[in-house]
Structure 1
Amino acid sequence: MAEVRVPPRWVVRAAWSTHRAIYKISGGRLGLGRPRAAKYGTLRLTTVGRRSGQPRSVLLAYYEDGPDLVLMSMNGWGEGHPAWWLNLRDQPDATVELGGDRRPVRARAASGEERARLWDGWKTYDKKLDAYAALRTTEAVVVVLEPRP
């Protein structure tokens, strides 16, 4: 397995903050994008806060699996699950924005053969995925966002 190093947490947080700032300053014109051949896409996910009940938005990497959108709850390669996944686990209905297109979705965790297949799909975009995952004691959840009427 390839040797990998995760940047310090402050670098990860700074990158997230910068990405959010670019999205906000551009009025949503920059910061989101559809997946391409060797590049995952970026979407804006809005969940309901599990404690606050308020809308919570985050920019996340994704790829498409038919009509579904596939996310990974890696928490910037840090330990634990990200808040957006904990929110979805408690309230699976959410909304995604994909470059001006808004759609309602329902989240669920992939399991078994489906999880293995979707995990392998992520390896298209990150060849060191298994090495990064091995740095964590928390298993990453492969999250499927299914279209909701």
Structure 2
Amino acid sequence: MDGRARLVQKISSTRAFARVAPHVIPALDRAVHRLSGGRTLLSTRMLPGVVLTATGARSGRPRRTPLACMPQDDGGWLLIGSNFGRPGHPAWTGNLMKNPEAEVSWRGRDIPVRARLLTGEERERAWRAAVAFWPPYAAYQARVEREIRLFRLDRRDR
């Protein structure tokens, strides 16, 4: 890992970052995603990312959320509901729990997916992989009492 990546990870682990990032990063990602025709997100300079379109748990309306992800070898994705180490679960996790059929925009393609909340040993394995992939997740978990939700997204037929 180069020095720049280590610096970004260190900054990403701070409480100040957790206060500012949720307001800035998603807005920038949405703009870059729209301007690039869905091919890229600004945050993918450090981590792979998708734009998740899920049905709102209360509203029933489509909700688009740019998210970091861990692409899986079999073509699925792991999503980590860290909320940058803030106390509450991010809204998109509740949306997926109520409405697991969703869609991701991945490298310019819209792909229908089905989400599954990971539990038990499967969650533990995924959590270890997530922390190895992006060490700031450990700092986020240490700051909150809730267990960070992890979701596995698998492709589905339209």
Shorter-chain-normalised TM-score: which range? 0.7 to 0.9
| Pairing partner for 2:37 from 12, 15, 27 | 27
AA in 2 matched with 1:47: A
**TM-score (norm: length of structure 1):** 0.84
| Pairing partner for 2:54 from 41, 47, 54 | 47
Equivalent residue number for residue 136 of structure 1: 144
5+ residue gaps, structure 1: none
Cα RMSD of the aligned pairs, angstroms, is 2.3
TM-fit CA distance, 1:103: 1.2
Deviation digits for residues 55-93 of structure 1 (CA, Å, limit 9, x no counterpart): 110111111222321000111221111111111111110
> More helix per residue: 1 or 2?
2
TM-fit CA distance, 1:32: 7.0
What is the percentage of aligned positions where both structures have the same residue?
Answer: 33
Cα pair 1:110 1:142 within 8 Å, conserved = yes
1:148 matched to 2:156: yes
Runs of 4+ in 1 over 3 A off after TM superposition: 32-35
For 1:40, what is the secondary structure of its paired residue? coil
Equivalent residue number for residue 69 of structure 2: 62
TM-fit CA distance, 1:110: 0.8
Deviation digits for residues 29-57 of structure 1 (CA, Å, limit 9, x no counterpart): 4317989xxx5310011001112111110
- Going from structure 1 to structure 2, the CA distance change for 1:22 and 1:34 (only over 3 Å counts) comes to closer
Cα pair 2:28 2:42 within 8 Å, conserved = no
Cα pair 2:29 2:41 within 8 Å, conserved = yes
